[in-house]
Amino acid sequence: MPYSYLSHLYCPKTGERYPAGRVQQLSQVGAPLLVAYDLQALKETWKPADLVGREASLWRYHELLPVRDPANVVTLGEGFTPLLPTPRVGQDMGIRDLWMKDEGIIPTGSFKARGAAVGVSRALELGVSRLAMPTNGNAGAAWALYAARAGIEATIVMPQDAPLITRNEVYACGARLFLVDGLISDAGKQVAQAVAEEGLFDASTLKEPYRIEGKKTMGLEIAEQFGWRLPDVILYPTGGGVGLIGIHKAFKELRELGWIAAGRPLPRLVAVQASGCAPIVKAWEARAKESEFWPDSQTVAFGINVPKPLGDFLVLEALYESEGCALAIEDAELLKEQRRVAELEGAFVCPEGAAVFAAARRLRENGWIKDNERVVALNTGAGIKYPDTLTADAPLLQPGERLPR
């Protein structure tokens, strides 16, 4: 059996096919390329029971990933993250069957590790030796670290306001790091210029086809961890939206493989954004096919501050196809929810993850989430990566002083 059943790439706008065997960026019409597999052949030979006893990482699904030779796998042990029951916060918001997929338990402390692991591995396989990307922090940290492990030179440009810890990660591994006194869109322009002038591989979100495949494994894991019975609703904090696109793609592939029931509807996907940056919500409310640039975007949930995602049409398509929805959460509300989740479940989630819990609460209140539905909140990273989102208030004692009751 081949290690990967990778077949080809295709443009989701025109359907045009592209060979997978060499470096590709966007399609001729400027759309992100998607990855296709030989699912008919795979269906004959690959069964859920084959996964039993495989390693506890996303590479357990290597047949459905794009790396052809296991020697090219660049791994830090990412994936197969916990899917935890969260009954106390569920009870607090009236959802009896609430779960958290915890992407904080992963190298670099953020789900960006999935896209980086698969994207860097495939770049290595295709002979890339230098890559560049703009980032709001976590993606750049992940790509820089995986690139270091692969021996690939990385050039990372991030806003100077991006979380300090992600800057440290990029710096620690010796990548070329630049800060810009502006937004990720400014960083993007600078990367585009360097790509053109220096011949670097452009690893910007969705400008390379393989990070979606890494993110897709969140969907594969949710399916496997629930014994191939999918939940009713999955809430996802949406910036670039790659994970949401990937999860939906995973479920469609599993349906074609016959691993999940063909008759049942796929999970309703919910794109959760911040009120200060909600282009997908605005587009979804207008039933539009694409989003519009969101000016002066701002939120404490830095990872979802993306004013005009390149894959917006794919995100919206996944929402419409799955009969999902989109909604925006105020910063104050998500910060409150962050503490509630920590108090009730012992999980210190990131602000983006907290937004998802707040959204679940809202959707239960307005009845969109129904009684007895199984709901998964996707926490995309560890709260510890954002030391500035809360200020601990604690009495300072002198040695020998008795603890106040």
- Could you say which residues in the range 338-397 bind a copy of itself, by CB under 8 A? 338-339, 342-348, 382-385, 387, 390, 392-397
Please report whether residue 41 would count as binding a copy of itself according to CB under 8 A: no
Any idea what DSSP says for residue 132? E
Please report whether residue 150 would count as binding a copy of itself according to CB under 8 A: yes
Please report whether residue 56 would count as binding a copy of itself according to CB under 8 A: yes
Query: Considering beta carbons, is residue 37 or 146 the nearer one to a copy of itself?
Result: 146
Answer yes or no: are the C-beta atoms of 114 and 218 closer than 8 Å: yes
Q: How far is the CB of 399 from a copy of itself (least distance, A)?
A: 4
Please report whether residue 98 would count as binding a copy of itself according to CB under 8 A: no
Among 36, 41, 126, 179, binds a copy of itself (CB under 8 A): 179
Please report whether residue 74 would count as binding a copy of itself according to CB under 8 A: yes
Please report whether residue 194 would count as binding a copy of itself according to CB under 8 A: yes
DSSP character string of 184-220: HHHHHHHHHHHHHHH--EE-STTTSSSHHHHHHHHHH
Please report whether residue 192 would count as binding a copy of itself according to CB under 8 A: no
Q: How far is the CB of 330 from a copy of itself (least distance, A)?
A: 19
DSSP character string of 57-100: SGGGGGGGSS---GGG---SS-----EEE-HHHHHHTT-TEEEE
Cα–Cα–Cα angle for 311, 43, 260, nearest 5°? 65
Provide the sign of the torsion angle of the four alpha carbons 194, 196, 201, 206, taken in this order: positive
Q: How far is the CB of 255 from a copy of itself (least distance, A)?
A: 24
Q: How far is the CB of 287 from a copy of itself (least distance, A)?
A: 34
Query: Considering beta carbons, is residue 40 or 193 the nearer one to a copy of itself?
Result: 193
Among positions 205-244, residues that touch a copy of itself (CB under 8 A) are none
Please report whether residue 136 would count as binding a copy of itself according to CB under 8 A: no
Between the CA of residue 33 and those of 26, 112, 170, 218, what are the distances in Å? 6, 19, 27, 20
Answer yes or no: are the C-beta atoms of 67 and 4 closer than 8 Å: yes
Query: Considering beta carbons, is residue 345 or 373 the nearer one to a copy of itself?
Result: 345
Query: Considering beta carbons, is residue 367 or 399 the nearer one to a copy of itself?
Result: 399
Among 3, 18, 178, 259, binds a copy of itself (CB under 8 A): 178
Q: Which stretch binds a copy of itself (CB under 8 A): 80-88, 210-218, 264-272, 284-292?
A: 80-88
Query: Considering beta carbons, is residue 286 or 384 the nearer one to a copy of itself?
Result: 384
Query: Would you state the structure tokens that stand for residue 113, as one six-digit string?
Result: 């590790």
Please report whether residue 285 would count as binding a copy of itself according to CB under 8 A: no
Nearest CA-CA partner of 143 in 175, 168, 172: 175
Please report whether residue 52 would count as binding a copy of itself according to CB under 8 A: yes
Between the CA of residue 64 and those of 24, 25, 295, 391, 399, what are the distances in Å? 19, 20, 38, 43, 59
Q: How far is the CB of 80 from a copy of itself (least distance, A)?
A: 6
The string over 44-54, giving b where at least 16 C-beta atoms fall within 10 Å of a residue's C-beta and e elsewhere, is eebeeeeeeee
Rg over CA atoms, the chain: 21
Query: Considering beta carbons, is residue 291 or 338 the nearer one to a copy of itself?
Result: 338
Answer yes or no: are the C-beta atoms of 149 and 74 closer than 8 Å: yes
Query: Would you state the structure tokens that stand for residue 231, as one six-digit string?
Result: 């939940």
Please report whether residue 295 would count as binding a copy of itself according to CB under 8 A: no
